Amino acid sequence: MTTFVLVHGAWHGPWAWERVVPLLHAAGARTLTPDLGADGDFGLHDHAEAVVAALDTVAAQEEIVLVGHSYAGLVVREAADARPDAVGHLVLVDGWAGTDGEGMASLAPGSFVQAVRTAAETRGDGRRIPAPPPAAFGITDTENAAWLAPRLLPQPLRTFTESTRLTGAVDGIPGTALYCRPQTYPFDRFGEALGYRTLALDGPHDVMLTHPEPLARLLLEVRSSQNGKREV
Q: What is the pLDDT of residue 228?
A: 38
Residue 133 lies in a domain: no
Which residue type sits at 112?
A: F
Number of structural domains the chain divides into? 1
Residue 110 lies in a domain: no
Question: Domain containing 202: what range?
Answer: 2-103+163-224
Q: What CATH number does the domain containing 72 carry?
A: 3.40.50.1820
Lowest mean pLDDT among 74-78, 85-89, 109-113, 225-229: 225-229
Task: State the Cα–Cα distance between residues 21 and 153, nearest whole angstrom.
Answer: 21
Asked whether 149 and 209 are in contact (CB, 8 A), the reply is no
Task: State the Cα–Cα distance between residues 97 and 164, nearest whole angstrom.
Answer: 9
**Residue 217 confidence (pLDDT) above 70:** yes
Residue 80 lies in a domain: yes
Residue 91 lies in a domain: yes
Task: State the Cα–Cα distance between residues 224 and 81, nearest whole angstrom.
Answer: 23
Max distance between CA atoms of the chain, in angstroms, equals 49
Residue 61, C-beta contacts closer than 8 angstroms, at least 6 positions apart: none
Residue 94 lies in a domain: yes
Residue 181 lies in a domain: yes
Residue 143 lies in a domain: no
**Residue 229 confidence (pLDDT) above 60:** no
Task: State the Cα–Cα distance between residues 201 and 180, nearest whole angstrom.
Answer: 5
Task: State the Cα–Cα distance between residues 204 and 57, nearest whole angstrom.
Answer: 32
Which residue type sits at 217?
A: R
Region 94-115: mean pLDDT is 97
Residue 186 lies in a domain: yes
Q: What is the pLDDT of residue 225?
A: 64
154: left (phi over 0), alpha (psi -120 to 50) or beta: beta
